[in-house]
């Protein structure tokens, strides 16, 4: 039996969230009886429970502001160490999601090695580039990433672009790396009558019609290029609407965006809040005329995979991470002034045959390289030392 301890997600069952969905699917689609998962869960108590046949252990974590996630990960590492030692677990793997605890991992690495624990790291994307963090926190992220790459026994990258970055940036450590992508599913359009009713109500509340809107789904942060997409859309000739599903807050970023774009003066622009009902969201994606993806801070982005599995036309920022995933299943825009607005105008003129071709290529990419069955199979081969 191979015992895999996973920390760094908020836990399962998952409502939404990249790492949370990943762990949920990894346990849900588990094939091998030779693997036992142990999953840390952010909680207000220290209880244990079972979900998807995984042992889930709660980690009681106080709200200490921005340091909460670091505190949670460190307590989780301590719990893993104590469990392995108490139960004499042989050849365990500790899989840490994200690079938050580099300086603190140093304290435990030697202890873990004495117990035979291998430490695998998923570096996620370029967290140290995110503008939501101040300079001090970004510097911490960079230092933490460096130390975790140095101490990790294996670095599992969900993007070839991230893997190339790790190998180049930290070549002096000669890191052992492998690439296993994030997973997704192609939406087959099947849904319940109840979900259809929810969708109809949502459309009515925002005065929207099928195929008459462009869509953005993502976190409301500058590096997702909301300003660029909104400005270019406003310059386009489109009569369709731009629907933005995000956790918008009227903060400094929002106020600056409003001041620079005056998007409130364009009736086509609609911020509609969040949507956590995944079945309704899949239908919203499917019924969109096109999906915009302006993310540029690395890694395989879950919202992009979900869009490729559901939306007919996907229009992506031309960066290595997005092209690696979608390839010829999408259209691409640059940051050059007028590039996206012209592409929008051209897209509305393309034939139905071209749209079907894009849709097929996008869904083929998901089915062949990103299905959860395929991703889980690769992880299990890795954990069982069969290669991947």
- 262 domain residue, yes or no: yes
pLDDT tens by residue, 130-161: 666 667 777 888 889 999 999 999 999 998 88
pLDDT tens by residue, 178-199: 999 999 999 988 899 999 999 9
Task: Judge if 88 and 106 occupy the same domain.
Answer: yes
pLDDT confidence of residue 130: 65
Q: What angle do CA 273, 274, 277 make, to 5 degrees?
A: 140
- 113 domain residue, yes or no: yes
- 188 domain residue, yes or no: no
Q: Which of 52, 114, 34, 47 is nearest to 79 (CA)?
A: 47
Task: Judge if 43 and 121 occupy the same domain.
Answer: yes
- 134 domain residue, yes or no: yes
Domain that holds residue 63: 2-183+371-383
What is the domain-level CATH number for residue 235? 3.40.50.2000
In percent, the amount of the chain with pLDDT more than 90 equals 79
Task: Judge if 95 and 225 occupy the same domain.
Answer: no
The lowest-confidence range among 65-79, 134-148, 288-302 is 134-148
Question: How far is residue 311 from each of residues 113, 115, 237, 335, measured CA to CA in Å?
Answer: 46, 48, 22, 23
Task: Judge if 352 and 205 occupy the same domain.
Answer: yes
Task: Judge if 376 and 299 occupy the same domain.
Answer: no
Q: What is the DSSP letter of 29?
A: T
pLDDT confidence of residue 142: 86
pLDDT for 358 beyond 70: yes
Question: How far is residue 276 from each of residues 52, 113, 204, 250, measured CA to CA in Å?
Answer: 21, 41, 18, 20
Percent helix, strand and coil across the chain, each to the nearest 5: 50, 20, 35
Given a contact cutoff of 8 angstroms between Cβ atoms, the answer to whether 213 and 233 are in contact is no
Between these two residues, 41 and 221, which has the higher pLDDT value?
Answer: 41
Task: Judge if 154 and 249 occupy the same domain.
Answer: no
Read off the pLDDT of each residue in 12-24 and give the average, rounded to a whole number: 88
Cβ count near 349 (within 10 Å): 7
- 388 domain residue, yes or no: no
pLDDT for 388 beyond 60: no
Give me the number of domains the chain comprises: 2
The highest-confidence range among 60-74, 140-154, 341-355, by mean pLDDT, is 341-355
pLDDT for 321 beyond 80: yes
Task: Judge if 268 and 344 occupy the same domain.
Answer: yes
- 284 domain residue, yes or no: yes
Task: Judge if 166 and 111 occupy the same domain.
Answer: yes
- 86 domain residue, yes or no: yes
Read off the pLDDT of each residue in 165-176 and give the average, rounded to a whole number: 94
Question: Is the previous residue joined to 206 through a cis bond, with omega within 30 degrees of 0?
Answer: no
Task: Judge if 288 and 345 occupy the same domain.
Answer: yes
Task: Judge if 136 and 39 occupy the same domain.
Answer: yes
- 235 domain residue, yes or no: yes
Task: Judge if 174 and 248 occupy the same domain.
Answer: no
Task: Judge if 350 and 307 occupy the same domain.
Answer: yes
């Amino acid at each position: 039996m191979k015992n895999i301890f996973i920390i760094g997600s908020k836990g399962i069952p998952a409502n939404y969230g990249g790492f949370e969905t990943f762990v949920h699917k990894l346990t849900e689609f588990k094939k091998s009886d030779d693997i036992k998962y142990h999953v840390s869960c952010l909680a207000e108590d220290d209880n244990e429970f079972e979900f998807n046949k995984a042992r889930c252990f709660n980690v009681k974590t106080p709200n200490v502001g921005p340091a909460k996630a670091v505190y949670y990960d460190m307590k989780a590492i301590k719990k893993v160490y104590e469990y392995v030692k108490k139960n004499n677990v042989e050849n365990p793997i500790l899989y840490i999601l994200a690079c938050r605890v580099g300086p603190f991992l140093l304290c435990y690495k030697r202890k873990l090695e004495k117990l035979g624990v291998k430490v695998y790291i998923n570096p996620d994307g370029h967290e140290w580039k995110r503008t939501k963090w101040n300079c001090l926190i970004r510097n911490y992220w960079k230092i933490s990433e460096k130390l975790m790459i140095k101490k990790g026994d294996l670095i599992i990258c969900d993007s070839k672009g991230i893997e190339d970055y790790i190998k180049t940036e930290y070549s002096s450590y000669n890191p052992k790396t492998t690439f296993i992508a994030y997973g997704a599913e192609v939406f087959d359009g099947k849904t319940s009558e109840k979900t259809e009713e929810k969708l109809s109500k949502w459309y009515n509340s925002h005065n929207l019609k099928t195929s008459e809107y462009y869509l953005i789904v993502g976190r409301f942060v500058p590096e997702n290029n909301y300003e660029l997409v909104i400005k270019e859309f406003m310059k386009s000739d489109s009569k369709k609407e731009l629907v933005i599903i995000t956790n918008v807050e009227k903060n400094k970023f929002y106020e600056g965006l409003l001041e620079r774009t005056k998007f409130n003066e364009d009736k086509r622009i609609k911020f509609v809040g969040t949507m956590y009902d995944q079945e309704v969201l899949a239908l919203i994606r499917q019924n969109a005329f096109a999906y915009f993806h302006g993310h540029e801070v690395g890694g395989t982005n879950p919202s992009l995979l979900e869009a490729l599995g559901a939306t007919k036309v996907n229009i992506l920022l031309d960066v290595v991470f997005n092209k690696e995933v979608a390839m010829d299943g999408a259209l691409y825009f640059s940051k050059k002034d007028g590039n996206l607005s012209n592409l929008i105008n051209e897209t509305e003129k393309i034939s139905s045959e071209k749209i079907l071709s894009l849709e097929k290529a996008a869904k083929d990419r998901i089915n062949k390289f990103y299905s959860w069955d395929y991703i889980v199979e690769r992880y299990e081969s890795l954990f069982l030392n069969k290669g991947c």
